[in-house]
Structures are given as C-alpha cells and as structure tokens.
Amino acid sequence: MIAAYLVLLIPSVGILVFVLTGHKTDTGKLNVRFNAICLLATTWLAINVLNQGTILSSGKAFLIDPFNVYLIVLTAFVGLTTSIFSAPYMAHEKELGKLTDKRLKLYYSMYQGFMLAMYLVLTTNNMGVMWVAMEGATLATVLLVSLYRTPESIEAAWKYFILCGVGIAQALFGTILLYYAAVQVGDVENSLLWSVLYENANKLNPEILEIAFVFMLIGYGTKIGLVPLHNWLPDAHSEGPTPMSAVLSGLLLNDALYAVVRNKMLVDGASHSNMAGLLMMGFGLLSFLVAAFFLHRQKDIKRLFSYSSIEHMGMMTFAFGIGSSLSTFAALLHMTVHSLTKSAIFVTVGHAAQVAGSQRIDNIRGLIKTQPRIGWGLLIGTIAIAGFPPFGVFTSEFLVLLATMHSYPWLTPLLLLGIGIAFAGLFRHIQPMVYGDKPESQMPVKANLWPVMIHLALVLWLGLAIPGFLANWFSQATILISGSTPL
C-alpha cells in the first residue's frame, strides 16, 4: 500500500519543487526524473497487485484492483515519455520566444499537478474524491491550454474551462444522487466508497441510480469528448502546447471513461435493465461516426488527431456499452493501445509542427525528405492508429467488431463504415505531409524520438502477443466489469 501513497506523494512534491524552483534551466530534466520515480513506484504497486490481488487501503480510502492498476502504470508511463519529449520541445519553444521562464515554471508545476489529479482519479475509492480530482485535472490544465497567450489559445482555454466545468457539474449532481441512494441503505460514513457501493449495489434504488447515471454520463462524457459535448476538445488540443495534447488525449480521456465505467458497474448491479449500456452505446457510436466524418474537414494537424481521439473514445464507450465480456476485454485493450499510439503521434506531430513552423496541414510537406525519422514516425503512427495489422489497435478494433457481431450484428456495418471513413480521412491528409518534395524553408529540428519508438514498439508487441500478466489483468477486470470471463 505504501506504493500507492508514494504514487500520490511524488507528484505532490513535484508541484512544490517546481513552484519554488521552476525558473531554473534544468527543470525539464527534473520533470523527467520525477516522472521516472513515479513510474518506478507504480511498477512496485503493480507487482504488489500481481502478488496479492486487489488491495484496499486500511482506511478504505484507496482501492487498487486489476481494472485501475494497469491504467495507473499506463498513466505513469505516458507521463514519463511525454516529459522526455517535452524537455527539449519546451526549450525550443522558449528559444523561439513563445514562452518565458515564468510560464515554463507554470507549465512544469501544472504538469505535476495534472499527473497528481490523474493518479488520484484512478486510485481513490471514494466517488466524491474522484469527482474532485477530475475537476482538479481541468483546473490544472486550463492555464496550460492558454500557455501561449494568443487570442486563439485564450478562447480555447475559456471554452475548455466553461464547457468542462459545467459538464462536470452534472457529474457532481449524479454523485449526490448516488450518495442519496446509498445513504438510504447503508451507513452514512462509508456510503460514497466504491467498494461499499459495489457490494451493496443490488440494494440500491434502481430508479435513482439510473437518473444518477444519466448525469454521470453527461458529466464525465464531456471530458471523454463524446459528441455533442466534444466542442472543447479539438480547440484545447490544437491551441495548447503539444506535450499537453499528448497527455490530454492519452490520459485524461481514458480516466474520464474509467469514471463512467466504474459508475456503470454500480448501475448494472442495481438495475436489471440495460439502460446504462444502451446509453453508452448510443453516445459512443454517434461520437465515433461524427468524428470520422469531421476528420476529412480539418486543416490543422493537431485538430485532425484530436478528432481521431474522439473517434476512438467513442468506440471504447460503445464497446463498454455492449457490456459482453469480449467487448469489455476489447475496450480495455483499446484504452491501452490508443493511449500509447495517440501520445506517440502527438509527440511526432509536435516535432513536425516545429520542422514546418506551422500547424497547418497545407504548410507541412515532405517530412520524410526533411527529417526521415519524424516522417516515418508520423506515417507508422498513423498506420497504427488507423487500425492496420499487426499493431495493437487492429487487435482491439477487431475484437470490438467481433463482439458487435455477437451481440448487435446489425450495428457492424456502421462500425466498418466509420473505420473506413476515418482511415480515408487520416490518409488523405497524412500522405502529402510525409511524402513529396520538401519546401525550401523546412529545416530539421533537434528531436528526441525515443518515446515514439518505444510506444509504437509496445503497440506492435500488444498487437502480436499480449504478455501473460497483462492478459490476466484484462481478464480479471473483464470479470469485474461484465461478470463473465472473456473468450
């Protein structure tokens, strides 16, 4: 259990250190170190869970089970690799005169603040604290979206703040309703603890829980980026610094979905109608299809990939909504591979934008000729995210399709259509960016592409063979969520 406390303690210390000494020049490296230590702590935590199974802290304040443990490690991992990328990236932005020391200090403090909020969402056993941490994540990132202080970035940050703030307020109303239902059956003191709620789920009033779930889905769904609540997402991703886009896409969206699924488990326990699942399927499919179409109309490379994030989050929400063991397994896998691939893509996109000096797709040309590693990185990343074999995204999307065929066969054509449209939307933009002649002005930049390679290698590995312990976690989490074993 000490490991779990450490995971929360390290970023807290990080915030303090950066607030006090963030103006020093080697802050980027220090940020990498903090994240590296945190990854070690989460690995230790994971080993504990591997040996002992589910851990509940003594005060029941924290719960680590197979469902969240792999997300915790994933969070730490993406946090680390993004920080490795962010150190030279932010230094380059400073050289260009876009940032000052003071803002870099803000950036690094809030980076740690965001990581803390993410760990807290995942480790906490208290649904109320989960809400607080989720809102905390918005508050930590909102000033980072407007870090460049351009009129566009301020507009994006304002939109992000208002939409996510109002959205997540709905989730608090849902949480209050949940608490209200729980107080009626159990002791008041522990009524918001997820483990207690889960044990007593069949006693909770199904009607109140269903109303609560609607609010939760809208609230956390705003953060997942479900259509029609997605408006903030492309703006925030495109206007903020690129490392932020990587962690927003890779971590924040996942954690919001995690919160929804935790609530769905409670509603499923209380009510026998499949209302929660159907709602998630509807919203998920809508987001998936709408985002796939929007991919075609984008002119900004970061907006392009943020719509791709909406598309994939939609697919995961849909898969969790189906609720069969196969689809749940697929969704868990998809969460992992999407997070790894998308953060890798944003890292390459960040470098590509620095090479071209612009985020506009029209201005980015001939990347392979300018700087082959960035060009190939972007191309392979896009191939992976579009769902080509042998990458992991292919495996998980294939499983989702399979599960859909089992449960709702008539929805399969829609899914296939969406995948096809998204593929076309991505490649019509990517192809001219990576191939072709380079413009005169384009110059290679100092880029560290190790994070990208490691991420893509992992995604490849997950596509070829899922390691035993991970498959075991996925299976246990699947049993926890859907009630039956996969495959």
Partner 1 sequence: MNIGHQDFYTQAILSMAALVGLTSFLMLGQGRLLRLIFVFALQGFLLTLTTALTAYSLDNHHLYISAALTLALKVMFIPWMLRRQVLLMNMHRDIEALKNNTAVMMGGASLMVFSYYVLHPIVQTSSTIMLNALAVSLSVVLLGMLLMISHRQAVAHVVGFMSIENGLFFAAIVATNGMPMVVELGVAFDVLVAAVLFGIFFFHIRTSIDSLDVDRLNRLHEVDK
**List of residues contacting partner 1 (CB under 8 A):** 126, 128-129, 131-133, 135-136, 139, 142-143, 146, 149-152, 154-159, 161-162, 165-166, 169-170, 172-173, 176-177, 179-181, 183-184, 189, 191-192, 205, 207-208, 211, 231, 234-235, 239, 294, 297-300
CB atoms within 10 A of CB 246: 31
Closest CA to 205 of 188, 187, 181: 181
Task: Give the nearer residue to partner 1 in terms of CB position, either 137 or 386.
Answer: 137
Cβ-contact 166, 148 below 8 angstroms? no
Q: Which CB, 256 or 458, lies closer to partner 1?
A: 256
Residue 375 CB, shortest distance to partner 1, in Å, is: 24
Nearer to partner 1, 102 or 446 (CB): 102
Closest CB 253 distance from partner 1, rounded Å: 19
Task: Show the DSSP H helices in 22-100 as ranges.
Answer: 27-52, 66-95
What is the distance between the alpha carbons of residues 380 and 376, in angstroms, rounded to a whole number?
6
Distance CA 257, CA 225 (A): 10
- The nearest distance, CB 188 to partner 1, in angstroms, is 8
> In whole angstroms, how close is the CB of 151 to partner 1 at the nearest point?
4
Q: Which is nearer to partner 1, 174 or 486 (CB)?
A: 174
Q: Is residue 139 within a helix (H) or strand (E), and if so which, with residue range?
A: helix 127-145
Would you say 173 and 218 are in contact if contact means Cβ atoms under 8 Å apart?
Answer: no
Q: How far is the CB of 168 from partner 1 (least distance, A)?
A: 9
CB 205 to partner 1: min, Å: 5
Q: Residue 393 half-sphere exposure, CB side, CA atoms within 13 Å?
A: 25
Residue 358 · residue 96 · CB < 8 Å: no
Q: Are 287 and 225 in contact (CB under 8 A)?
A: yes
Residue for token pair 């909102």: 142
Q: Determine if the peptide bond prior to 390 is cis (ω within 30°).
A: yes
Identify which of residues 90 and 177 has a Cβ nearer to partner 1 in the complex. Answer: 177
Nearer to partner 1, 22 or 174 (CB): 174
Is the Cβ of residue 166 or residue 416 nearer to partner 1 in the bound state?
166
Q: Considering the complex, what minimum distance in angstroms separates the CB of residue 194 from partner 1?
A: 13
- Looking up tokens 């030279």 gives 88
- Alpha helical stretches, state H, 200-274: 206-224, 232-239, 242-247, 253-270
Rounded to 10°, the helix 275-294/301-322 angle is 160
Neighbours of 159 (CB within 10 A): 17
300 residue type, one letter: D
Nearer to partner 1, 168 or 332 (CB): 168
Q: Cβ of residue 399: shortest distance to partner 1, in angstroms?
A: 31
DSSP state of 1: -
- C-alpha to C-alpha distance for 343 and 242, rounded to whole angstroms: 10
348-384 burial, b for 16+ CB within 10 Å, e for fewer? bbbbbbbbbeebebebbbbbbebbebbbbbbbbbbbb
Q: How far is the CB of 321 from partner 1 (least distance, A)?
A: 22
Give me the least distance between CB of 400 and partner 1, in Å please: 27
The nearer residue to partner 1, 66 or 234, going by C-beta atoms, is 234
Listed in order, strand segments (DSSP E) in 376-416 are: none
Q: How far is the CB of 31 from partner 1 (least distance, A)?
A: 22
CA distance 473 to 291: 31
User: In the complex with partner 1, which residue's Cβ is closer, 37 or 289?
Assistant: 289
Q: In angstroms, give the least distance from the CB of 162 to partner 1.
A: 6
Spatial distance between the Cα atoms of 72 and 290, rounded to a whole number of angstroms: 30
Q: Which is nearer to partner 1, 157 or 378 (CB)?
A: 157
Cα–Cα distance for residue pair 272/289, rounded to 1 Å: 29
Q: Which residue has the tokens 């590693």?
A: 373
Distance of closest approach, residue 208 Cβ to partner 1, in angstroms: 6
Q: Which is nearer to partner 1, 176 or 479 (CB)?
A: 176
Nearer to partner 1, 175 or 396 (CB): 175
Q: Sign of the CA dihedral 222, 226, 230, 232?
A: positive
